[in-house]
Amino acid sequence: MPGGLTPISSAREAILAHARPLPSEPVPIGIALGRVLAEDVRAAGDVPRFENSAMDGFAVVAAASSGPLRIVGEARAGAPAQVALRPGEAIRISTGAPLPAGADAVVRIEDTSERDGEVAVRVPVAPGAHVRHPGEDLRAGEVVLRAGVRVGPGELGVAVAAGVGALRCTRRPRVAVLCTGDELVEAGAPLGPGQIHDSNRVMLAALAAQAGAEVVTAARVPDDRAATEAAFADALERADLVIASGGVSVGPHDHVKPALEQLGVQERFWRVALQPGKPTWFGTRDERLVLGLPGNPVSSFVTFALFARPALLALQGAAAPLPARAVARLATPVRRLNREQVLRVTVRQRDDGALLVAPNGPQASHVTRSLTGVDAFAFVPAGEGEAPAGAAVEIEPL
Ligand code: AMP
Ligand code: MG
């Protein structure tokens, strides 16, 4: 740990070691988007449930389909045929309709011609042609979704097909966002001398919601010891994860650390070997987690993504709380620093397939413009001189 700073990977390990999955609850499927499954989902029955047609056309007996066939009925999706099929006959059928009794194949409508209540088949027909079989997609009892999966639109679709109406998910983590700083003013409000708009309250609440959290409070806290202690005491009662922004350094008006110490929150690490985001603080009180993020919006954004998001995913029992890394090449030279740098980058693919990353504008921690249109973080190791264009760097997609 150079200079007593915790490496990013060790900081993440410390957080994941303390972020245990929350209890689970049944969630109606219609509002389960974004939730994390607490248990495997199994198919309630075979899917498809019944033999059905893969095409619009005619159900036939394959071995007796060469001559003109008399059309004796219709099978539609949701409305099975009323009659059974015999050799010499055909039943008009729609995609998804149950295969009529007696039929063993479907001929596509494009391969037939119809006249006077009869249909002529213009192609050879094999038994089973264009027929979907029970269980071909999912087998009764089969695991279709694993515990730890975050539910997206595709997962919702397959769960419904599997016969499921509610999903057992971990409870959404409750998050309190506390933004410290006497200089902060509500978004859109006029600014007095020395005041700035409070970007982090809105941004951190949005980041938390996007990571699956329920934001129970998002408040501003003045740079005052008693007010800081009161705000954190309340947040610790209500939240699984308390996210503070600012006030975590060592200035005379930084009250977060002493307040948390007074409230019995045990420090797990403070200061990470990282630019931007060095003064990041992490502590725990029983099962409650507290992350103190540096106040600069860029630093807050970066450290949220690096530390708070994995914490929230781990609280939800996600199978993979850390983003998967890939290797890319720098499009431009980057000056190395004495700490690992987390660049906000855009990613594009070179003709040879390699990923190329370019810093998204100036990377100083007060330049909020670098937060827009970010595809990924690129990690430039500490060192001397420049990392040249073409140098390999690890990236984490956002
Ligand atoms: P601090 O971490 O409290 O020392 O703050 C570092 C820098 O970030 C200072 O320039 C603060 O004015 C700024 N800052 C702190 N909190 C916020 C916030 N919520 N929104 C925008 N800027 C902030
Ligand atoms: Mg401050």
Size of the chain in residues: 398
Q: Which residues of the chain have pLDDT under 70?
A: 1-3
Give the list of residues 6+ apart from residue 316 with CB closer than 8 angstroms, or none.
21, 22, 35, 36, 150, 169, 170, 172, 173, 212
Dihedral Cα 257, 262, 265, 270, nearest 10 deg: 20
Longest dimension (CA), the chain: 95
Q: Which of 178, 182, 184, 298 to mutate to test the pocket of ligand 1 (most atoms within 8 A of CB)?
A: 184
Lookup result for tokens 């309709």: 97
Residue of 112, 106, 102, 109 whose CA lies nearest to 126 = 106
Give distance in angstroms: CA of 185 to centre of ligand 1.
11
Q: Supply the residue whose CA is at minimum distance from atom 3 of ligand 1.
A: 246
Distance CA(149)–CA(137), nearest Å, equals 20
Residue 251 CA: nearest ligand 1 atom is 4
Give distance in angstroms: CA of 375 to centre of ligand 1.
24
Distance CA(242)–CA(67), nearest Å, equals 76
Pull the structure tokens for residue 303: 């450290």
Give me the phi and psi of 228, to 5 degrees please.
Answer: -65, -45
Residue 201 CA: nearest ligand 1 atom is 19
- pTM for the predicted model, two decimal places: 0.93
Residue of 285, 202, 289 whose CA lies nearest to 241 = 289
Pocket of ligand 1 (CB under 6 A): 179, 181, 183-184, 196, 198-201, 245-247, 249, 294-297
